[in-house]
Structures are given as structure tokens and as C-alpha cells.
Structure 1
Amino acid sequence: MIDRLNSALGDRYTIQRELGAGGMATVYLADDPKHQRKVAIKVLHPELSAVIGAERFLTEIRTTANLQHPHILPLFDSGEADGLLFYVMPWVDGESLRDRLDRERQLPVKEAVRITAAIASALDYAHRQGIIHRDIKPENILLHDGQPLVADFGIALALTAAGSSGRMTETGLSLGTPHYMSPEQASGEGTVDPRSDVYALGCVLYETLVGDPPFPGSTPQAVLAKVLTTNPERTIVHRESVPPHVDSVIAKSMERIPA
């Protein structure tokens, strides 16, 4: 794949190595010789590219490119090359919140709240632009010098459009991660709006404080069943040092019937 990408993008970028892969895309580290900087290129998986389509992707990505917020990872470039849909972001010399939680399990309460407040500010800004992220999770929160950056706004609009057309359902693809899905996302029946992002952010804050996601489960189906039918245990049950007002905010954000 690296050879294919270098062949397709060699006039603009030089692919160095794979940084990681997820359910929707693979990320590569690359050099941008024109601007003398390192970048991260996210290449959508072929089946997802087929669902979205190049025209829809390139149209919707333009709106995302206008997002400018100190806690949103900006978009440098996007396009189609050799049948592959891609977008280009800054390379963040740091780690994801998932990396840090894997290492430390829990964060200090003040730091967890600080990170969450910054992400909430970014989401509020995006929501006012009419953009819902739909996949807030520790993997999509990058930490650079301690400051959080929300990543993957790049495909939110395109996937939303594909979902509204029914093509996501037809192919069995879905946007969201079970541990952080709101009930309306999990059921596929309710309207997904900014409150779904608030729910997911509540799940993230819960995990940073407790060390585990709100709804543990051995399979995605088991997790989703809990999301749809139960309320999580309060954070103070697991960690007495969580202030009551923080515990209440988390419980409010994760109500199964959004207010």
C-alpha cells in the first residue's frame, strides 16, 4: 500500500510508514516537501470509500476544512488518488488519550476535567457550525504538550450524508464505537444530534476517572445491550475522590433519554 500511495501522491507527499489502522481508515506518516513539514495522511478503507463516494467525500470535506478551533485537529488537504480517498492532517508529536489511559489507567481528577472541558469547547464550536462528530472516543483525542486535539472531524459529514442516503445501512457499516455510543446511535432509531457527542464525551470522562468504560462487555453486542437498557454505576462508587458535581455532570450527560 505504501508503494501504491507513493505512486499516486508522489508529486505532493512522500509516505514514510504506517502509523496505525482503525475500523474506517489507515494512517500514514508522510513528508510534505513543499511546506517542509511532516503530516499524517488518513486513507479510508476501500469499502468505506465505496459507500461514501468521491464526490460526496470531497464536497462534504470542504465544510470540515473550515473548522478552526484550538482543540480541533485542522485539515490540510484532501482528495482522491488511484481510487483511494484520503485527507491530510498535521502530524502530532504526542500520543492519544487511549495511549495514556492504557499506560496510566486513570487520570488525576483535575486533569481529566481540564481535558474534557477543552474537548467540550471544541464540540460546542463544531455543533454551532452544524457538524456532529459521532465518534468521540479516547483514540480520537490526541494529546500534544498536554493539550487535547479532537481528530476525525474529517469524515463526520460525509458519513452522515451516506447514512441519510441509506448506503451505510445497506453495507452494514456504522459510525461509532460501542463503548461510547449514545442509545440513539446504538438503536439506529433515534435522531443523532449534538447530544450524542455529549453522551460520548461523558463516557470518555467516566473512563478517565474510573479506569474502565461505563459499560464493560466481552462483545460489541453485550456492550450495546447495556447501553440501551441500563444506567452506568456512578463514578464515586469506583473512586471516592471524584467531586459530587463532576459525578452529577457525567450522570446527566449519559441519560438514556436525552433532555
Structure 2
Amino acid sequence: MPTQENPEATLVAGRRQASQRIPSSGGKIPGGEDNRIRIGGQASVFKVLRRKDGQAFAVKTILDSGDGYFDREDRTLATLGYSNTDRLPDRKQVRDLVLELCDYNLYERISLKGVLGEHEAAKIIAPLAKTLGQVHEEGFIHCDVKPENVLLADRESNHDCCVPKLCDFGLACCMTNPWRVSGIGTWVYMAPEAMLGDGCYTPAVDVWGLGMVLYHCLTARTPFLKLRREETRRISESVISSGSGVHHGVFCWDGISDGARDLIRGMTANRLVIKEILNHEWIKRHSSK
């Protein structure tokens, strides 16, 4: 498991030591709206400082609507070995996760830098694959793998040594009791089988998402971004019926090496298992540099 002495191994964002309690300020997040660093569909994230030493943390504020979002994230991270939750006082109907603070996410890095080089992309994808392997071994499916849920450090760095941290387990489900409705996740990164019917959630949906993340790294785009939902659904139905990937006529392969192309196709068409991803020639070649 990750340790404080080995930050390189800390791949799942959200670790919090028991002593890292941050006092509230009159029932409000200290700093208020000025310190909000992310707004999501289920929660907002604020930057806060610990009073005793000024150390920065992230507080993820979730409206306790009774849909189980907070409990799913809390349970998943706890099972993975990350004791990370704390209920800040005087905040009725709101639940807060106190998390380690990262500089920015992968989506922001791609937006800032543009297309990532294949070496840098491999250094991000390989650790994410290992993290997903751990998640799957513990019996969970993330269900929302996308660049926005991959946190990085060193915003100003142009180096390719950022350690990725997978975050936001609010949509995660147990393999023994998976989602039984379609549409869980983010549409443009969603596996075809998760879009249709009653949904079909297995570790393969995370592998698809990882393939979409790699494609986004290498092209700064997603293949479905400009398609209407009806068109995406039609493509998904074709994928399910034919058992093939969607790389013909949908993906743009300009500037992508044969090795990276083969891996993306493997993750989308063949749904490689995590071990196969990590043993792929493209990953091994870049990992050795």
C-alpha cells in the first residue's frame, strides 16, 4: 500500500492522516467561493489551509441528497486502504471529504500544453492501469475514468514525471452488485455497453475509459465530442452487435504511432485486461526509458 515515505506509489487521490483535521468557520468552507477550485455535477472542491501550520488540503463538499454518492466514495477508498473522510462540524445536510491537494488534472494539462508526447502519455497511462488493477482486485469498478478524474502535480512543469492520481469514486460500484441502469459515467468516455439498455458494468468499462484517456492525451480530443447522442448511441449499438471497436471512421490516427494505435484499439475493441495493458509493447518500451 502507499506510504507517506513513498509518494510515488500514492496513485489514488484522497489520502488523509487522522491528525489532519481542519476546523470549519461558522459552518462555511474557509475562504468561501474564492477558494473553490472545481465544480462538478455532484460536488464542489475547495482549497483550504490547516490553521496550525498553513498546509493546504482540498475539501470536497457533497450535498447529502441521499443518493449514496458520498457513501460509495467513502466505502471504496476505505476498502482500498485510504482513510480519508472527515465530517466538518456545523454543516447540516452537507458531507465533506478532506483530501490531499493536487495542482491540477489531466484535462487541464492537455488544455494547457496541447497534445502530449507518447512518452509522457505512457508515463500517465501505466500507473493508471496499475491503479485500476488494484481497484478491480478489491472488487470495485470506477465507472467514470476520464482526464478530469486524473489529478497531477507540478502545474508549471513541462517535465514528463507527473504522478497521476485517480480520483472521484462517487460513481464506483461493486462487481457483486453493479449498476443496473444505463448512462452511469461521462458520455464521451462511456463504454458502449454502459450506454445501452439496462447497462452492463464490468471492469471492461474502465478499460474502455482508459483507452479514451490515452486517445485524448495523444490527440487533445475525444472521438465522440462533436457527435450527437443519437449518433453515439447508433455507433455503440453497432459495436455491441459486431463485437468490434469503433476505430474505423471515428478515431483520427494522425500522428499516433502504430504501437499506441494498437493499444488504444486493444482497450476499446478487445478490452484487454490490466495485465495485458501493462505488458503491451508500447507501455514497456516507454517505461524502460
Q: Which SS does the other structure have where 2:37 is aligned?
A: strand
Conserved? CA contact 1:75–1:89, under 8 Å: no
1:62-94 CA-to-partner distances (Å, cap 9, x unmatched) read 4422425xxxxx5522448401122221111x2
1:20 corresponding residue in structure 2 = 38
Alignment partner of 1:254 out of 247, 268, 282: 268
Conserved? CA contact 1:112–1:205, under 8 Å: yes
TM-score by length of 1: 0.75
1:104 aligns with 2:113: yes
- 1:59 offset after TM fit, Å? 7.5
C-alpha distance 21-75 of structure 1, shift in aligned 2 (>3 A): farther
Alignment partner of 1:65 out of 78, 91, 103: 78
TM-score by length of 2: 0.68
1:78-126 CA-to-partner distances (Å, cap 9, x unmatched) read 448401122221111x221101111223100111112111100110011
Alignment partner of 1:52 out of 68, 74, 91: 68
C-alpha distance 150-87 of structure 1, shift in aligned 2 (>3 A): same
Alignment partner of 1:128 out of 133, 137, 151: 137
Greater strand share, 1 or 2?
A: 1
C-alpha distance 32-77 of structure 1, shift in aligned 2 (>3 A): farther
Q: Which SS does the other structure have where 1:50 is aligned?
A: coil
Matched pairs, number: 232
Q: C-alpha separation between the residues in 1 aligned to 2:105 and 2:191?
A: 22
- 1:20 offset after TM fit, Å? 1.5
Q: Which SS does the other structure have where 2:48 is aligned?
A: strand
1:54-203 aligned at under 5 Å gives the runs: 57-58=70-71, 61-68=74-81, 76-79=84-87, 81-92=91-102, 94-145=103-154, 146-153=162-169, 156-157=172-173, 163=179, 175-203=184-212
Q: C-alpha separation between the residues in 2 aligned to 1:236 and 1:155?
A: 27
Q: C-alpha separation between the residues in 1 aligned to 2:202 and 2:108?
A: 28
Aligned residue identity for 2:74: I
Alignment partner of 1:7 out of 3, 23, 26: 26
- 1:218 offset after TM fit, Å? 5.0
Please give the root-mean-square deviation of Cα atoms over the aligned residues, in Å.
Answer: 3.3
1:166-245 aligned at under 5 Å gives the runs: 175-217=184-226, 219-229=228-238, 231-233=246-248, 238-240=253-255, 242-245=256-259
Unmatched segments (≥5 aa) in structure 2: 1-23, 155-161, 240-245, 274-289
Higher alpha-carbon deviation: 212-221 or 137-146: 212-221
Conserved? CA contact 2:117–2:218, under 8 Å: yes
Q: C-alpha separation between the residues in 1 aligned to 2:31 and 2:114?
A: 33
Q: C-alpha separation between the residues in 1 aligned to 2:105 and 2:253?
A: 24
- 1:148 offset after TM fit, Å? 0.8
Greater helix share, 1 or 2?
A: 1
Unmatched segments (≥5 aa) in structure 1: 69-73
Identity of aligned residues (%): 27
Q: Which SS does the other structure have where 1:202 is aligned?
A: helix
Q: C-alpha separation between the residues in 2 aligned to 1:27 and 1:144?
A: 16
Aligned residue identity for 2:98: V
Conserved? CA contact 2:144–2:171, under 8 Å: no
Conserved? CA contact 1:186–1:228, under 8 Å: no
1:39 aligns with 2:54: no
- 1:29 offset after TM fit, Å? 1.2
